[in-house]
Chains A and B, each alone.
Chain A
Amino acid sequence: MKNETANSYEIKHLTFCKYELITPNKTITLSFPQMLELRRNINELTTFASLTRIVNNENFVLLFVADKQHLIYLEIPQLLHLKEEIELFFHAPASILV
């Protein structure tokens, strides 16, 4: 359990338009457009077809984040965890947009 937390990627909200992606070995500051970019890339990587391709090949992905300033390494469990983390971050209940 301890190990799992140490290896996972998390997202934190800092200020109005500053966010942090906490990775096992570094913390990356993200702007909102960079967050949207990360969301899109993670969603693309976690489609059924894409996951199948990753599992059948190298079993990990390298992903550029923050306008290609950083490269992150994700194994399947980390990838899935980050997807959940982002979903949680973007999930807005219906009432929120009112």
Chain B
Amino acid sequence: MSRNLTALVARHSSLGEPTAVELLAQAVRERGAVVADDVRDVAARTGLPEATVHGIATFYDDLREPRGALDVRVCTGTACFAATGGRHVAELSDGLGLALGERSEDGSVSLGETVCLGFCHCSPAVRVGDVVDAGPQAVARVLSREPRQAAEPQAQSLLAEPVLTRAGDWSGLRRVLAELTPDQLVEEVAQAGVLGRGGAAFPAAVKWRLTRQAPAAERFVVCNGDEGDAGSYIDKQLMEHSPELLLEGMALAAYAIGARHGVVLVRSEYPRSRPALEEAAERARERGLLGPDALGDGIPFDVIVVDGAGSYVVGEETALLACLQGLRGVVSSRPPYPAQSGVRGLPTLVHNVETLCNIPFIAARGAQAYRELSPGATPGSKLVCFNERFARPGVFEIPFGTSVRELCEDVAGGLRDGARLKAVQIGGPLGGILPASLLDTPFDLEPLAAVGCMVGHGSLVGFDEETGMRDLARHLLGFGAQESCGKCFPCRVGLTRAHEMVQGDAAVDRARLEELLEALELGSLCAHGGGMPAPIRSLIAHFPDELGLA
């Protein structure tokens, strides 16, 4: 991230003012596209150079394509792919007479793609304005201009007492403020052994200590609400149904590291998340739980929400920090780590939504109670979610160590209509694909890693016998190539080449493919390029014939 540009952002706008990305999105909402005058205007308002603003406008999905008065965005995420094999996209495109990314000549309608609307429990999903319709009839309803808001998923805890699927009651913060110093809270979180739930499973306390120790007058807590993984709607559930729990988690983290400001970056694909969070924050302010004395007399803490604008890689922490300052959501090499230099160059603690929602329980009940939630496995509990192919899709809170079979068969009820599960992709697009023959693998970090998979963020996208594995490879690599932030060479060019290799039905040269996967794994700057090979390696290992390897 350019130091000069972040300095310009800090100098010209105070926290909470709309970012350049938000201003450009506003221009698209008002006029259907970003034009040169918008770029000049946003440059003048933000103090950023015009060229820089132009670069921002060409990066994000929401800013790149023209939008019609009726803006239809079809989900091309993996759960929707598992439901229709991509037919819903073709049907909408035919029905509207528009290719993806096109706007009708009279400007009345546009069709764009969007990667995961978080309605993976009733795919396929289509968004029209802020209405998300989903299910087998969604395309027909959208084509007859009668979209209907789809039902939200259900959330349920399988624990004796829910830790995550509950509204927050701020009891953890109350107890901590009365009984623990910031250092003691950091130690409690270290004892609890909290691992980040955003995908990398990094020990939370290590980041807390680093951020707390970084010398600075000001520090930030950033909540990563980007949840880009197609097939995942866990953070959406938390932000919309347990926003107090998340705010309490952020306040606790702020108390521990000495931060006064919290920022939640929410992806624009979730139109209901930001209002839910802002209403909860307002209620908390009224009760004095956020605001000037939130963390004790004269110790302020408050939270603002910033919008994303359509980019998977913005979920990566350095890209996230760029986006929430209004810049291109491109990955930066570390060091410096966010703990040293994040928002406005100041020490910043970045956590996933679900990770932060774990903290109130530890604050209220202590590390030992937290460790007992999953005996003999990774500490704490985990939210998982299932796609529409399952009989009982939804969000479930489970103890770590449950087998994937129990999850798929008992918790989610197996596939609907008696279909047979062929394979399940776990933990997002960078996660491996578990064939039905390995379902007895325990759902936990090490056992999944041993079979080329990962817990990731916790989604389980099941595929039935209808899904061709070559089609799945094409789907995943198409996603990977399209979402590459374009910074590092292996991912920027390599994912496009990998996608090209699985086009059509021609045999795929296995040695070439593996050479390319190695360059992606070992060469990429971030886990996007580094992780996209994982599901492809699963397909090579378990479905070589379907993949068409030669």
Determine if chain A interacts with chain B. no
